[in-house]
């Protein structure tokens, strides 16, 4: 196992141009119409997975229920990362929580958007001096919109969501592509925090290859480190544990040894 | 098709072109069902919102949801059966819809009959079970086992109701059932002739649509929406399309059995929307029952009411 000191420090993020690759310009005039329709539908229908880690979660029920009613904007809560579009991080993320947040984020289907609510996700907030808290959320995954405040009022939450809707409609909310294009940067920060043998079940590099989202900074020193430790995922052993059956089996085992 | 036979040669004059009309109906009926289903989904969400004193989603929200889900750029498939399962789930209802007569179009209703229709409405659950099985998510497996148990529960009163109605009218042909109800006016409607069976049918409808209190197989807070847990992107989009067809099928079946079908599109759609609104309104005031309680309830009250209704019908 590699010691934590052997993990190279990620440098300053290199700017990567995001957009349609040159040479793939579309000539079909209806393609643009179709894209705009899709973008409009995407902005008007957002399924939200709220990862309620901190106090900001308190502000969501009023935003969702009769007082402010998010469903007017087409936003509704969902319960599984596969179904969701928005990952809502409400409050501080401890190192342990951040692992789960990253697993959840990688399981979501793109296009996916991350919203950081409360100042704790922006810069650590009042947990700045804590040894167990991740300070800046966008070191570990691309964040589309921060809603600052401690805690932001439901009006501010709705305002932030409206901003995201506008970004999606105009095609500017493509931070999720950044996770594929600069995976090395994000993985490096994750390795600094969780240790060199950090590995998630989702193969981000393979996904980047498959969906043609490979960027110049997808591979690097940190992905090389990941490849050293990466174990292929195996299906979990299927086992039915019925207490009565197991007790009987252990009893017969004991009987066998007594003879 | 007069002009067609006029231009054809003498030898071809005898060729029957009625099949063209049938093909057109088979294409149109699922399309209409989908559009009406979108309206039904919107109505359900609006009712839920109004009962919670919210404004609710805008007019085209169900459509935006479906477009957005199919336009996801990365799709997580768990294998071939996962995809075929969704196709079966939609396909079963598309087949069922062609067996349901609507004003002006009979489709295959006269040839199919109620038994075939009952079979078709079971295919989606089985397809979903196949698809969820390949996802290998424990929440999904628990959810689908509950869904199939629920199907076992509500199908007993459902079959009793359909048998009772068929016995009363002496036919399994939906076209004949509707014609017989329309001929005599409201007094010959199923709901007036067989109120007990209509009540049992309403119970079964609640279970068939999977609305509270019979919603245990979805249970978002407990098993993360059960069968839908691994469905993202186009798979969830397919299930949203399936939901449109499901609401339409359940509503139209009830209207055809008890409310005299539709004389024209206006009364037909009015009846369908009213019938579908009933389970949703009941759902919003109930928590959910456990699976065993649900089976017990279904095999006791609607079954008893249905059997009593059959006793009256047979007299």
Supply B82's token pair. 């996962």
Angle between helices B195-208 and B291-314 (to 10 degrees): 150
Closest Cα in chain B to A75: B57
Interface confidence, given as ipTM, is 0.79
Least confident of A23-27, A168-172, A229-233, B179-183: A23-27
Q: Is the pLDDT of residue A256 over 70?
A: no
Q: Name the burial class of residue A136, with classes exposed (0-12), middle (13-18) and buried (19+) by CB atoms within 10 angstroms of its CB.
A: middle
Question: How far B231 CA lies from chain A's nearest CA (Å)?
Answer: 6
Least confident of A11-25, A240-254, B190-204: A11-25
* Residue bearing the bigger pLDDT, A212 or A6: A212
DSSP letter (8 states) at residue B216: T
* Residue bearing the bigger pLDDT, B216 or B206: B206
pLDDT of residue B24: 87
A95-116 pLDDT, tens digit per residue, is 888 999 999 999 898 889 999 9
CA distance B43 to B100: 22
Question: Do B204 and B120 touch, CB atoms closer than 8 A?
Answer: no
**Interchain CB contact of B225 with A (< 8 Å):** yes
Q: Does some domain include residue A10?
A: no
Q: Does some domain include residue A15?
A: no
Q: Is the peptide bond before B69 cis (omega within 30 degrees of 0)?
A: no
- Are A45 and B64 within 8 A, CB to CB? yes
Q: How confident is the model at residue A1 (pLDDT cuts 50, 70, 90)?
A: very low
Q: Does some domain include residue A121?
A: yes
Average pLDDT, chain B: 86
**Interchain CB contact of A71 with B (< 8 Å):** yes
* Residue bearing the bigger pLDDT, B32 or A171: B32
SS3 percent helix, strand, coil of chain B, rounded to 5, is 75, 0, 25
Q: What is the DSSP annotation of B129-184?
A: HHHHHHHT-HHHHHHHHHHHHHHHHHHHHHHHHHHHHHHHHT---HHHHHHHHHHT
Question: Do A178 and A80 touch, CB atoms closer than 8 A?
Answer: no
Which residues partner with A116 through β-bridges? A89, A146
Nearest residue to B56 via CA among B64, B66, B48: B48
Domain holding A87, by residue range, is 25-258
Question: How far B228 CA lies from chain A's nearest CA (Å)?
Answer: 8
CA distance A133 to A93: 6
Average pLDDT, chain A: 81
Average pLDDT over residues A43-71: 86
Q: Is the pLDDT of residue A124 over 90?
A: no
Q: Does some domain include residue A14?
A: no
The CATH number assigned to the domain holding A117 equals 3.40.50.12280
- Looking up tokens 């048998």, which residue turns up? B163
**Interchain CB contact of B71 with A (< 8 Å):** yes
Option in B52, B220, B232 nearest A82 (CB): B232
Q: How confident is the model at residue A228 (pLDDT cuts 50, 70, 90)?
A: confident
Q: In sequence order, which residues have a C-beta less than 8 Å from that of residue A224 and are 6 or more positions away?
A: none
Selected residue of A35, A76, A82 to mutate for chain B interface (largest B Cβ count, 10 A): A82
Q: Is the pLDDT of residue B8 over 70?
A: no
**Interchain CB contact of A209 with B (< 8 Å):** no
Q: Does some domain include residue A155?
A: yes
Tell me the CB-side half-sphere exposure of residue B58, using CA atoms within 13 A: 13
pLDDT of residue A215: 79
Q: Does some domain include residue A2?
A: no
Q: How confident is the model at residue B270 (pLDDT cuts 50, 70, 90)?
A: very high
Which residues partner with B96 through β-bridges? none
Least confident of A7-16, B52-61, B137-146, B180-189: A7-16
Which residues partner with A115 through β-bridges? A88, A145
The SS3 assignment for B105 reads strand
Q: How confident is the model at residue B264 (pLDDT cuts 50, 70, 90)?
A: confident
B70-124 pLDDT, tens digit per residue, is 988 888 888 888 899 999 999 999 999 999 888 888 878 878 888 899 888 889 9
- Looking up tokens 């067989």, which residue turns up? B194
Counting every residue written for chain B, the total comes to 315
Domain count, chain A: 1
User: What percent of chain A is predicted at pLDDT more than 90?
Assistant: 14
Q: Is the pLDDT of residue B193 over 50?
A: yes
- Are A44 and B228 within 8 A, CB to CB? no
Q: What is the DSSP annotation of chain A?
A: ---GGGSPPP-SPPP---SSPTT-----HHHHHHHHHHHHHHHH-EEEEEE--SGGGGGHHHHHSTTT-GGGGTEEE-SSTTT-SEEEEES-EEHHHHHHHHHHHHHSPSS-EEEEESHHHHH-GGGTT-TTEE--GGGTS--SEEE-SSSPPHHHHHHHHHHHHHHHHTT---HHHHHHHTHHHHHHHHHHHH-TT---SS-HHHHHHHTT---TTSSSHHHHHHHHHPPPP-PPPP----HHHHHHHHHHHHHHHH-
Supply A20's token pair. 């349609």
CA distance B162 to A46: 41
- Are A80 and B224 within 8 A, CB to CB? yes
Q: Does some domain include residue A219?
A: yes
**Interchain CB contact of A44 with B (< 8 Å):** yes
Long-range CB pairs of A12-20, under 8 A, 24+ apart, other chains included: A13/A182, A13/A185, A14/A182, A14/A185, A14/A216, A14/A217, A16/A178, A16/A181, A16/A182, A16/A215, A16/A216, A16/A217, A18/A174, A18/A177, A18/A178, A18/A181
Least confident of A181-190, A242-251, B166-175: A242-251
Q: Is the pLDDT of residue A7 over 80?
A: no
B208-253 pLDDT, tens digit per residue, is 888 888 888 887 778 888 888 888 888 999 999 999 999 999 999 9
Main-chain dihedrals φ then ψ at residue B214, nearest 5 degrees? -105, 50
* Residue bearing the bigger pLDDT, B51 or B21: B51
Strands A75-77 and A86-90, by their bridges, are: unpaired
pTM of the predicted model, to two decimals?
0.84
DSSP letter (8 states) at residue A233: P
Closest Cα in chain A to B76: A109
pLDDT of residue A210: 85
The domain segmentation of chain B, as residue ranges, is 25-314
Selected residue of B44, B62, B71 to mutate for chain A interface (largest A Cβ count, 10 A): B71
Q: Alpha carbon A245 to chain centroid distance? A: 41
Question: How far A161 CA lies from chain B's nearest CA (Å)?
Answer: 16
């Amino acid at each position: 196992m590699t010691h934590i000191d052997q993990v190279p420090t990620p440098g300053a993020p290199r700017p990567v141009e995001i957009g349609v690759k040159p040479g793939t310009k579309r000539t079909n005039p209806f393609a643009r119409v179709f894209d705009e329709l899709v973008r409009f539908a995407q902005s008007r229908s957002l399924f939200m997975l709220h990862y309620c880690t901190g106090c900001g979660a308190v502000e969501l029920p009023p935003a969702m229920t009769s007082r402010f009613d998010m469903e007017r904007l087409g936003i509704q809560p969902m319960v599984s990362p596969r179904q969701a579009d928005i990952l809502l991080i409400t409050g501080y993320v401890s190192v342990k929580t951040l692992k789960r947040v990253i697993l959840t984020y990688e399981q979501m289907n793109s296009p996916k958007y991350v919203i950081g609510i409360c100042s704790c996700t922006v810069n650590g907030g009042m947990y700045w001096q804590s040894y167990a808290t991740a300070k800046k959320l966008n070191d570990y995954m691309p964040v589309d919109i921060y809603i600052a405040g401690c805690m932001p009022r439901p009006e501010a939450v709705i305002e932030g969501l409206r901003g995201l809707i506008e970004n999606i409609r105009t095609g500017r909310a493509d931070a999720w592509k950044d996770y594929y294009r600069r995976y090395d940067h994000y993985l490096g920060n994750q390795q600094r925090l969780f240790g060199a043998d950090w590995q998630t079940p989702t193969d981000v590099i393979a996904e980047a290859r498959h969906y043609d989202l490979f960027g110049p900074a997808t591979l690097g020193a940190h992905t090389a480190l990941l490849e050293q430790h990466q174990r292929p995922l195996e299906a979990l052993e299927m086992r039915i544990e019925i207490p009565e059956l197991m007790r009987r089996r252990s009893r017969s085992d004991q009987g066998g040894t007594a003879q | 098709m007069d002009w067609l036979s006029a231009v054809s040669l003498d030898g071809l004059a005898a060729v029957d072109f009625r099949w063209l009309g049938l093909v057109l109906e088979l294409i149109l009926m699922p399309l209409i069902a989908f559009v009406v289903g979108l309206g039904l989904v919107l109505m359900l969400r609006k009712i839920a919102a109004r009962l919670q004193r919210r404004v609710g989603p805008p007019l085209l929200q169900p459509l935006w949801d479906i477009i957005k889900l199919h336009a996801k750029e990365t799709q997580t498939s768990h294998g071939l059966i996962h995809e075929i399962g969704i196709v079966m789930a939609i396909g079963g209802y598309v087949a069922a819809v062609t067996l349901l007569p609507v004003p002006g179009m009979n489709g295959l209703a006269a040839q199919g009959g109620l038994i075939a229709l009952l079979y078709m409405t079971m295919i989606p659950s089985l397809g979903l079970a196949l698809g969820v099985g390949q996802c290998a998510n424990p929440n999904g497996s628990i959810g689908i086992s509950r869904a199939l148990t629920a199907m076992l529960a509500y199908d007993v009163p459902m079959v009793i109701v359909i048998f009772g109605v068929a016995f009363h009218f002496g036919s399994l042909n939906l076209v004949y059932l509707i014609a017989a109800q329309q001929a005599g006016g409201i007094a010959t409607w199923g709901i007036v002739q067989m109120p007990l069976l209509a009540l049992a049918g309403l119970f079964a409808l609640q279970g068939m649509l999977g609305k509270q209190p019979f919603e245990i197989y979805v249970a978002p807070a407990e098993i993360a929406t059960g069968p839908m847990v691994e469905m993202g992107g186009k798979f969830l989009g397919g299930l949203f399309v399936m939901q449109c067809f499901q609401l339409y099928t359940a509503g139209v079946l009830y209207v055809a059995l008890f409310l005299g079908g539709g004389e024209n599109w206006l009364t037909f759609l009015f009846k369908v929307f009213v019938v579908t609104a009933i389970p949703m309104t009941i759902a919003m005031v109930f928590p959910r029952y456990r699976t065993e309680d649900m089976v017990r309830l279904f095999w006791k009250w609607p079954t008893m009411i249905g059997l009593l209704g059959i006793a009256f019908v047979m007299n």
